[in-house]
Structure 1
Amino acid sequence: MGFSEKGILKTHMMTHTGERPLGCTVCSKTFILNSHLKVHMRSHTGERPFSCPVCSKEFVAKSPLNAHLRAHTGEKPHKCTFCSKCFSSKGGLKIHTRAHTGEKPFKCPFCALEFAARSSLNTHVTVHTGGKPFKCSVCEKEFAYKSEIKKHVRIHGGEKPFRCPVCSKCFKVDKYLKEHVTRTHAEEKPYKCPVCAKDFAGRSILNRHMRGHAGVKPFECPVCSKCFFVKYSLKKHMRIHTGERPFSCAVCAKSFSYKYCLTSHMKTHTQEKAFSCSVCAKEFTWKGDLKKHMRTHTGEKSL
C-alpha cells in the first residue's frame, strides 16, 4: 500500500505497532487520531452535535448518524462477499465477516475466551468483574449490559416500541412481541406435546409446557431456594428479596413490584368501577369487594 504523505504513513504504522499517543484526560483511554479523541470526549461531556432530520435522535459523530439514517431509508450498501448478506454499516459487515473467517481479535484478560466484537468482550468481562457500568438516571438501578438498561428505562417512560402487525398490541421488548405473535396469531403449531397432545407454535413454548408434566423447575432462587418453571417467574420472585419496585404510578409516584398491583392501584385515581353486581347492579372497584357484597344476596357467611 502506497502513501502520498509521510504523516499519513506514520499514522498508519501505529495500527501495526499499537502506539496510541493521544490519551483521554477523564478515563485514560488512548487514541491514534486527534479526531477520534475529540469524538470520544463527547461521551464524557454529553455533547451530541449531529441530529437526525427524521426522528431528531442525536449522535456524537457524523458517521453513526449516517448509519442511523439507513434505518429510515432501509439502505444496506455493505454486502458480505461470503453469503451476500447486506448491512447498513461497514462496522456491522466487518463483525459479520468474522463469523465466516473465524477471526476473534478481542481476547478476555481474565480467561481464554475470544470474541469477534469488542462489545461482546466488554459484556463478557462483567462476568469476571461483577461490574455494572450502566446506571438508570431515574431510579439509579445499575446494569451490567447496555441492552438491559435500554429495556429497563421503558418501565419509567411507558415506551412500547414493538407493535404487533396483526392486532397492533405494543410491547416494551422485542422478545415479548415475538412470543405474542407465536402464541396468539400463529396458525401453524407443529410442536405437539407427547403427554397431552396439545399443539404449540414454537419449540421453546413446548419445552416450557413439558416442565409442567415433568415437574421440573430449573430456575432456583439463590436466596430462599424456591424453584420455578420459567426464568421470568424467578425474576419477578426476586423482587421480594431485593425490594425492587419497577412499576411507578404516574399520578402519585407510588411504586410497585408487579404490574398488576400498579394496574389495581390506578383505579384509586380513576375511580373506575369495573365489577358490577349481577343482582342489584351496584358497582365496585375491586373484585374482592364485589365477592363480599354478593354474600348479602346469597346469605353465604365468610369464614
Structure 2
Amino acid sequence: MYIQEDTDITRFPFTAVTVKTEDDEEKPQDLKLHQNQKAEDCEGPEQSRNQDLSTHLQVNTDGKSSDWSEIEVSIDAFQEQEKLFSCNVCSQRFSQQGTLTRHMIVHTGEKPYSCDVCGKRFSQQGTLKSHMTIHTGEKPFGCDVCSKTFSQQKTLKSHMTVHTGEKPFSCDVCGKRFSQHGTLKRHVRAHTEDKPFGCNICGKRFRHHCNLKSHMTVHIGEKLFGCDECGKRFRHHCSLKLHMTDHTGEKPFSCDVCGKRFSQQGHLKRHSVAHTGEKPFGCDVCGQRFSQQGSLKSHMTVHTGEKPFSCDDCGKTFRQQGTLKAHMIVHSGEKPFGCDFCGKRFSQQLTLKRHMGVHTGEKPFSCNTCGKSFRLLHVLQTHMRVHTGEKPFVCM
C-alpha cells in the first residue's frame, strides 16, 4: 500500500491505523485516515466518505487491492471519532457544530421559529416546515399500499402499522400492545387515574385532551357537526359518524353467537349480554336487575315518577323515549306495521304482535292459580279478580 505523495496529509488531523497486506504480513504500515478534508482533496464529499469507508480507502491506495477481511479497522469507531461536538447537558455527540446548536434548544426550551398563519412556535425550523402543511393542505407523503396521503412523514410511518399489523409498543401494567407510542401513552392513564386536562368552567377533569374538547361544547351549547342528509347537528364528530349509519344502513358489527348485525359497536356490546344472561346493573330501590345500564335508567322513572319525554304536538309526557316515539304515530296517522295474514295495519309493533295471536291461536299469558291462558295481558289481569275477589269499580 502506498499513500499518494502529492498530498500533504500533515495538514490534517489523522489517526494511525495498522493495516496488514498479502505482500507483507509482518511489516505494518501506517495508513493515514484524514478527517475534515475538503472534497477536492479526497475525491469525495464528507457524507459519502462516512457512508462507505471502504470505497474511500481504495481511492487512496493507487488502486492496489487488499484483503479487506484482514483490515483491522472499526468503521463504527471511525464514525464515532468524527462526532467531535458534545452536549454539555446530556453528553450526546454530534459530527457538526450546527447540529449541536439545534440540539441545545431541547434543553433551553427556546422556540425561535413561529408560524405566520396561527402564531404557534417551534424549536426547530424543520418542525415548523412540517406544521405548515396543516395550513396549505399539502400531503406529499403517500402510502404505497392504499394510496392514502399524509402531511407528515411520521404520520405515514404510523399509518403503515395498519397494513403490517405491527404493535411494537406494550403496556408495562397489563401487557396490551399498541401500534403507536401516543396511543400507549394515553392508555397508561387508565392505570394511573391521571387526568391532566381540566375544564376551566366546571372543573371536571379528563384523561385525554380530545375528551376535554368535546366536553366544552356542553357549556357553549355549540353543535359544530351537521349531517348532510337530514341537517341534524351534533356536538361531537363521533356522534355524527354514528348517526350516518342510519342513512347508509351500514351494520359493520356482527354478533359471534347469533350473527345479528349492528350499526354501532356499543349496540353490539349491549346485545352480547343477552347471550350471557348477565345482569350487572341493579335497582337500589326494588332490587330488580338489568343487563343494560340504559334499561336501569329507564326503570328508575317508575320510582321517581319522572316523565322527561314530552310530545311537541299535544304536550303528553312519557317515561321512555321509545314510548314517545311510538306515540308520535298517533299524530302522523302512520301505520308501518302490517299483518302478513290479513293485511291489517297497526301504528305500533307491539299492537301487531298482540293481533297475531288471533291467527296463531297463541295464548302466552296464563293464570298461576288455575292455569287458564289468555291472548292478552289485560284480559289475564281482569281474570285474576275472580281469584282475588277484587272489585275495583264502585257505583256512583
CA contact (8 A) 2:114 2:121 kept: yes
How high is the sequence identity, in percent, across the aligned residues? 33
Residue 204 of structure 1 pairs with residue 279 of structure 2: no
Are 1:115 and 2:206 matched, yes or no? yes
| 1:241-269 per-position Cα deviation (integer Å, ceiling 9, x unaligned) | xxxxxxxxxxxxxxxxx9xx7x95xxxxx
Distance 1:232 1:210, change over 3 A: closer
SS at match of 1:167: coil
Q: Please name the residue that 2:32 is paired with.
A: none
Letter of the structure 1 residue corresponding to residue 114 of structure 2: L
Name the structure 2 match of 1:214: 303
Q: Which amino acid aligns with 2:115?
A: G
CA contact (8 A) 1:24 1:30 kept: no
Which residue identity does 2:296 align to in structure 1? N
1:179-213 Cα distance to aligned partner (Å, 9 max, x none) = 22223xx143456989999875x252662574475
Shift in Å, 1:162: 1.4
Shift, 1:85, TM fit: 2.8
SS in 2 for 1:159: coil
TM-aligned CA deviation for residue 49 of structure 1: 5.4
Does residue 175 (structure 1) correspond to residue 266 (structure 2)? The answer is yes
Say whether residues 1:287 and 2:345 are aligned partners: yes
**1:135 positional shift:** 3.5
Query: Whole-Å Cα distance in 2 between the matches of residues 133 and 13 of structure 1?
Result: 40
**Cα deviation, residue 91, structure 1:** 0.6
Match of 2:40 in 1: none
Residue 254 of structure 1 corresponds to none
- Give unmatched runs, 5+ long, in structure 1: 241-257, 265-272, 279-283, 289-303
Q: C-alpha deviations, 1:11-31, integer Å up to 9, x for none?
A: 4247x46x4743262x55555
For residues 55-204 of structure 1, what are the structure 2 equivalents within 5 Å?
59-71=150-162, 74-183=165-274, 186-190=275-279, 202=291, 204=293
Query: 2:173 is paired with a residue of what secondary structure?
Result: coil
Higher relative contact order at CA 8 Å, sep ≥6: structure 1 or structure 2? 1
For 1:220-299, list aligned pairs within 5 A: 220=309, 227-230=317-320, 264=336, 275=339, 287=345
Q: Which has the larger radius of gyration?
A: 2
Give the TM-score taking structure 1 as reference length.
0.59
In the alignment, is the contact (CA less than 8 A) between 1:24 and 1:37 conserved in 2?
A: no
Instruction: For residues 272-291 of structure 1, give each alpha carbon's deviation from its aligned partner in whole angstroms, at most 9, with x where no partner exists.
Output: x975555xxxxx5x726xxx
How many residues in Structure 1 have an aligned counterpart in Structure 2? 247
User: Secondary structure of 1:96's match?
Assistant: helix
Name the CA distance, whole Å, in 1 between partners of 2:273 and 2:142.
Answer: 37
TM-score between both structures, scaled by the size of structure 2: 0.47
Task: Tell me which of 8, 23, 43 is aligned to 2:102.
Answer: 8
Q: Find the counterpart in structure 1 of residue 386 from structure 2.
A: none
Aligned equivalents of 1:109, 1:196: Cα separation in 2: 39
Q: Which amino acid aligns with 2:345?
A: K
Q: Distance in 2 between matches of 1:191 and 1:177?
A: 17
Q: C-alpha displacement at 1:148, in angstroms?
A: 0.9
